[in-house]
Amino acid sequence: MSQLKSLNLLKPSGGLDMKSSSKSKRPLRIITISLGIILAVIIIFWFFDIVLNGMIVDWFENNYMTTYEEYIPDVGKVGIIHRPNWDMLKQLLFVVVIAILFIGMLVVILVSHLYAKSRVRKNTKEIGKMLHDYILSEKDAADIFPENYGDIATQMSEIKAQMRSHEQILKEETARKNDLILYLAHDLKTPLASVIGYLNLLRDERHISEDLQERYLSISLEKAERLEDLINEFFDIARFNLTDISLQYSKINLTRLLEQLAYEFKPMLKEKNLTCNLQIPDDLMLRCDANKIQRAFDNLLRNAVIYSYPDTEVNVTVVRQNDDVVIKFINHGDTISKENLERIFEQFYRLDISRSTSSGGAGLGLAISKRIIELHHGTITASSENDLIEFTVTLPTS
């Protein structure tokens, strides 16, 4: 915003401004136009009087006057009589009237066009200045836009409110992203220190029992896997800013994909003694980008497992509705508040109050799933009540 305000430095500090300069030129412009009109009248008069001398009179007499000789008793002589040819004069008058009307209409159209263009240019400058002042100031629209610009004032108020809202959301997302990077970096130290410590013990203590060696190796492996998860979250944060995502469509068996996904989650399900129930029609086909859809469903199922109560069920149901397929992920867990539901698909947003990354992820899973599903022209919604959490995905089958 400060960059925009610096543009005001371009305005001269002294002398006449643009409006006073324009006003000073108006008398000179009027004098110039008047002299031009006078000069044009003189040239036209000279052309008809000198260059075309006699030609117009001869043309008029030959076409619109009847000339004949007739004896005039009063003077006792034969004279040449000129009488108007009224039929021809009526035709001439009709043509002249039509020509005058046509020329007048053209003049009116031209003047109206020039006037309208001038008014549009003037209004555009006025609106541009008002928009500039409104965007750079903290004033209300009613204080800048006059009453006859009420519609514009209303629209600009809405646009400015949306801009501020988007700016605030961007600031919050950036702050959450920076916080997560700091916490992820901090969390990397703990498992790394554990791995180094246990490996040093295995190297230095030659007479450790096999059971203790197995225990140390298991702990080291667990910490190494945690390191891998944290590093993957770093990659997610880096990749999420890439908006140019292309889809590679193919026809897949959705039933087999979800069955395979549930099988891969068996270790996580076992840790909390969870049961995953699949209710899917046999051989349900879906045209999509298989890798990206699998990632979206992986995020949703992982989210359901992480936030489930122990010893409960995770249900995945699929039904066909006309040309769409509806997939639901339902688990038993703490009811999500309405405020959290409204923000649950924001990037880097996490439900848990704790800042630590030891539980959950970087807050990207649901945001990534939403983007992937929308790229497939689908929708995703979330609802929660009575200790139930439900995510509903709707995708076109073709």
Confidence of residue 233 (pLDDT cuts 50, 70, 90): low
Q: Look at the alpha carbons of 277, 282, 286, 289 in this order and tell me if their dihedral is positive or negative.
A: positive
CA-nearest of 250, 324, 333 to 294 is: 250
Residues 6+ apart with CB under 8 A from 220: 194, 195, 198, 199
Is 60 exceeded by the pLDDT of residue 19? Answer: no
Percent of the chain whose predicted confidence (pLDDT) is above 70 = 77
Please tell me which residue, 93 or 246, carries the higher pLDDT value.
Answer: 93
Predicted confidence (pLDDT) at residue 7 exceeds the cutoff of 60: no
For 23-55, the DSSP string reads HHHHHHHHHHHHHHHHHHHHHHHHIIIIITTTH
pLDDT at residue 356 greater than cutoff 90: no
Structure tokens at 37: 């009109």
Mean pLDDT score of the chain: 78
User: Is 189 or 54 the better-scoring residue by pLDDT?
Assistant: 189
- What does the pLDDT read at residue 239? 62
Distance between CA atoms of residues 22 and 30, nearest Å: 13
Which range, of 9-23, 72-86, 284-298, 333-347, averages the lowest pLDDT? 9-23
Dihedral of CA 341/274/293/285: which sign? Answer: negative
pLDDT score recorded for residue 327: 96
User: Which pLDDT does position 89 carry in this prediction?
Assistant: 80
Q: Could you give the CA distance from residue 276 to residue 284 in angstroms, rounded to a whole number?
A: 19
pLDDT, residue 10, reads: 35
Q: Which of 108-112, 180-184, 282-286, 353-357 has the highest mean pLDDT?
A: 282-286
- Which is more confidently placed, 55 or 101? 101
Q: How far apart are CA 79 and CA 39, in angstroms?
A: 43
Residue 162 pLDDT grade (very low, low, confident, very high; cuts 50, 70, 90): confident
Which pairs from 81-88 meet CB under 8 Å and 24+ separation? 88/63, 88/64
Q: Are 302 and 329 in contact (CB under 8 A)?
A: no
Closest to 382 (Cα-Cα) out of 398, 365, 366:
366
Give residue limits of the domains in the chain. Answer: 32-84, 153-239, 250-396
Q: What is the pLDDT of residue 8?
A: 37
Task: State which CATH number among 1.10.287.130, 3.30.70.100, 3.90.550.10, 3.30.470.10 fits the domain covering 153-239.
Answer: 1.10.287.130
Please name every residue paired with 354 in a beta bridge, in sequence order, or none if there are none.
none
The average pLDDT across 191-196 equals 78
Contact 69, 81 (CB under 8 A): yes
**Phi then psi dihedrals of residue 146, to 5 deg:** -70, 175
Average pLDDT estimate for 241-252: 73
What's the pLDDT tens digit per position in 363-379? 567 887 888 899 899 99
**CATH dotted code for 250-396:** 3.30.565.10
Q: What tokens were used for 328?
A: 């639901």
With beta carbons less than 8 A apart as the criterion, state whether 280 and 286 touch.
Answer: no
Return the bridge partners of 276, or none.
Answer: 314
What are the backbone dihedrals phi and psi of residue 75, each rounded to the nearest 5 degrees, phi first? -105, -10
What is the average per-residue pLDDT within 92-100? Answer: 86
Question: What value does the mean pLDDT take over residues 322-332?
Answer: 94
What local confidence, expressed as pLDDT, does residue 22 receive? 47
Q: 49-54 — which CB contacts under 8 Å span 24+ positions?
A: none
In this prediction, residue 318 carries a pLDDT of 95
Distance CA 122, CA 114 (A): 12
The predicted model gives 246-268 an average pLDDT of 90
**Residues 107-137 pLDDT 10s:** 888 888 888 888 888 888 888 888 877 777 7
Mean pLDDT on 197-209: 81
Q: 3-class DSSP state for residue 276?
A: strand
**pLDDT at position 55:** 66
**Tokens of residue 39, six digits:** 């000069």
Written as six digits, the tokens of 345 are: 């698909």
Q: Is the pLDDT of residue 5 over 70?
A: no
Question: pLDDT: is 390 or 47 the higher one?
Answer: 390
Q: Residue 325 corresponds to which amino acid?
A: V
Q: Tell me the average pLDDT across 255-260.
A: 94
